[in-house]
Chains A and B, each alone.
Chain A
Amino acid sequence: MRRAFLGLLLAGLLLPVVPLALWAISGTWRYPDLLPSDVTTRGLHLLVDPRTRVLDGLVTSTVIGAAVASLACLIGFPAGRALGLYRFRGRRVVQFLLLAPVIVPGLAVALGIQVFFVRFGLSDTAVGVILVQLMPTVPYAATVFGAAFANLDVDYEQQARTLGAGPVRILLFVTVPLLRPAIVVAALLTFLISWSEYVLTLLVGGGQVKTLPLLLFASISSSDTTAAAALALLVVGPPLLLLIAAAPFLNGRSSAMVGVGRL
């Protein structure tokens, strides 16, 4: 039963990739053929061709994604601690404000922020893109960490104190290891949001910061479906690999730690 469910889930996740993979290697594929009539590696070659700048885009996307994930976790961690552990006046308001960027259309907010980005010379730069992408990512990081801290037994930290650990070493040797599953989830989630962000990147990056989604949109609007499909595969691939790499940290116990269902 469990296996069947898992199989369905995987099928749902992977099946849409199959036609994509076929498109990417098809030379000619006409109606009503079930499969492409001839196979080519042209699409794959285009990915590594320096003129297409796809590899540059891959690097840009990875660097921005990693930076956004790190920063969002660094901000979300203390915010989550405050939300999950402490009962303070105005907690609900803070919680709402943290989630607001997800509720309010990002485009509207970004248009307002863009004025300041231009003034401070942040528009058209990768730094600007990273900063604006914190908007849709920090709420998720804070929510994940909030749930994790709500499930954390702070007595562990007290115990570590009596064993001679100061605040910094309690954080490094006790809290972070205890919350490792939540950190993996938050980092994964925020990286994926950044990875597929298009509108904010286009707006603040001004087309100068070329992440993979930007290249993909450009490619889709051209008529070369083989190139577009190959590029799409490249966009889908890394998140899937990341998910598989993170799987060992995401067993049943740790998903309980992350507190799915508590929020």
Chain B
Amino acid sequence: MSGADVEVIEVSKHYGAVAAVDDVSLRLSPGSLTALLGPSGCGKSTTLSLVAGLHHPDSGDVCVDGGSILAVPAERRPVALVVQKPLLFPHLTVAQNVAFGLRMRRVDRRRRGQLVAEMLDRVQLPDLADRRVGELSGGQEQRVALARALVLKPRVLLLDEPFSQLDAGLRVQMRALVRRLHDESDVTTLFVTHDQGEALDVADTIALMLHGRLVGHDEPEAFYRRPPSLAAARFFGVTNELSGWVRGRSFAHRTGLVLPADLPDGAAVLVVRPESIEVVEHGGTETVAGTVIMARFAGTHIAVEVEIEAGETLDVHVPVGQNIAIGSRVHLRLPRHACTMFEAEARA
């Protein structure tokens, strides 16, 4: 059985006056692997628990293959959940833990043994079947937790920061394991993480959540090329923001930089990634002049800070080898296709 088509439709969940999840709509196509990305406290874990059925939304609907599952209790949803804590039952062995869900589903003993052995093979722990769970390392624990979830052949797999307590090297290995397990079973997977590196590494698409709202759901690259909002751009580490003014379909900055824009007239913010800016010989269109105030070798590039106006600087990543002297005058080209503009947020 392959992965399900999952639809979260205009779901909201409030705790007191606070909206933990605010009108979120998200569609996961069958067999996809989506990262639900956002800073801690943005509502991504709550969203997950609404899909798992551990909490009930105040409004909205959750559908699997077109049918609402809101009335289905968590224990009967075709959904498996693995969270940050391994939560292996301490009174059971590794094999008994993996078999737990099968036992709840009244799978007979022989079939159970077979499925558990297969599953332990797939998570590369065939020798630990009879171990007590207290003897496992952190990585092994999460493998068992994954096995315990996947042995049920769920249609939807929900992972809530499953590896955030492991050290960096192990995390990378575990991501690769998740990717492989997903590709083998084609289970529709939603992977909650606050780490954009992890999201880029593991997922086909990224759904970005900020302050309880879904900001965008797109391919990872798109978040870099055209971030859906200023907040999204900031979350993805765009450090360059130029405040300017749009008038008659063109954006003007007080340095004289003018770029075509498709925003209504008014205050606007232009964002551009440091690696998209080029240092060029001569001024021209799409360029702005400035003085190098800092240049630092950063391994794959030279991180340069250029002052284009009193108190306003741009971060630029220059290829290693290019000669940049502190104090020198440079021209920077901001390619239009690499720039994204937003209407400035109204300030109170």
Contacts and interface: CB of A to CB of B under 8 A. Distances in A.
Interface of A: 153, 155-156, 158-166, 169, 173-174, 177-178, 180
Interface string B69-99: 0000111110111010101011100000000
Nearest to A165: B104
B95 to A, nearest CB: 15
A229 to B, nearest CB: 43
B54 interface: yes
Given A162-B52, A163-B148, A163-B152, A180 B87 contact: no
B151 to A, nearest CB: 10
**What are the 10 tightest A-B residue pairs by CB atom distance, in nearest-first order?**
A163-B101, A164-B104, A177-B91, A162-B81, A159-B87, A161-B74, A165-B104, A161-B75, A164-B75, A164-B101
13 contacts: A156-B87, A156-B89, A158-B74, A162-B52, A162-B79, A162-B80, A163-B75, A163-B80, A164-B101, A164-B105, A165-B75, A166-B75, A177-B91
A89 B83 CA distance: 31
B26 to A, nearest CB: 19
Contacts of A178: 89-91
B100 interface: yes
Contacts, number: 60
A164 B152 contact: yes
Contacts of B54: 158, 161-162
Contacts of A164: 75-76, 101, 104-105, 152
Nearest to A177: B91
Nearest to A164: B104
Given A155-B83, A165-B75, A160 B91 contact: no
Contact of B100 (A153, A158, A160, A180): A160
Nearest to A163: B101
A163 B90 contact: no
A105 B30 CA distance: 67
Interface string B38-78: 00000000000000111000000000000000000111110
A155 B145 CA distance: 13
Interface of B: 52-54, 73-77, 79-81, 83, 85, 87, 89-91, 100-101, 103-105, 148-149, 152
Nearest to A159: B87
A160 B85 CA distance: 13
A174 B104 contact: no
B37 to A, nearest CB: 22
Majority SS at the chain A contact face: helix
Given A161-B74, A162-B80, A177 B87 contact: no
A12 B124 CA distance: 53
A158 B79 CA distance: 13
Contacts of B81: 159, 162
Contacts of A156: 87, 89
Contacts of A159: 81, 83, 87
A163 B151 CA distance: 10
Contacts of B73: 161, 166
Contacts of B90: 178
Given A162-B52, A174-B89, 19 more contacts: A153-B87, A155-B87, A156-B87, A156-B89, A158-B54, A159-B81, A162-B74, A162-B79, A162-B80, A162-B149, A163-B75, A163-B104, A164-B75, A164-B101, A165-B75, A166-B73, A166-B75, A178-B90, A178-B91
A155 B75 contact: no
Contacts of B105: 164
A163 to B, nearest CB: 4
Name the residue among A155, A160, A163 with the largest chain B CB count within 10 angstroms. Answer: A163
Contacts of A158: 54, 74
Contacts of B91: 177-178, 180
Name the residue among A159, A169, A177 with the largest chain B CB count within 10 angstroms. Answer: A159
A180 B91 CA distance: 10
Given A163-B101, A165-B75, A165-B104, A155 B85 contact: yes
B77 to A, nearest CB: 8
Contacts of A166: 73, 75
A172 to B, nearest CB: 11
A162 B89 contact: no
Contacts of A163: 75, 80, 100-101, 104, 148-149, 152
A52 to B, nearest CB: 45
Nearest to B76: A164
A156 B90 CA distance: 10
A177 B92 CA distance: 9
B259 to A, nearest CB: 50
A169 B91 CA distance: 15
A169 to B, nearest CB: 6
Contacts of B53: 161-162
Contacts of A161: 53-54, 73-75
A177 B75 contact: no
A91 B152 CA distance: 40
A162 B48 CA distance: 12
A78 B54 CA distance: 21
Name the residue among A155, A164, A178 with the largest chain B CB count within 10 angstroms. Answer: A164
A161 B87 CA distance: 12
A169 B83 contact: no
A162 to B, nearest CB: 4
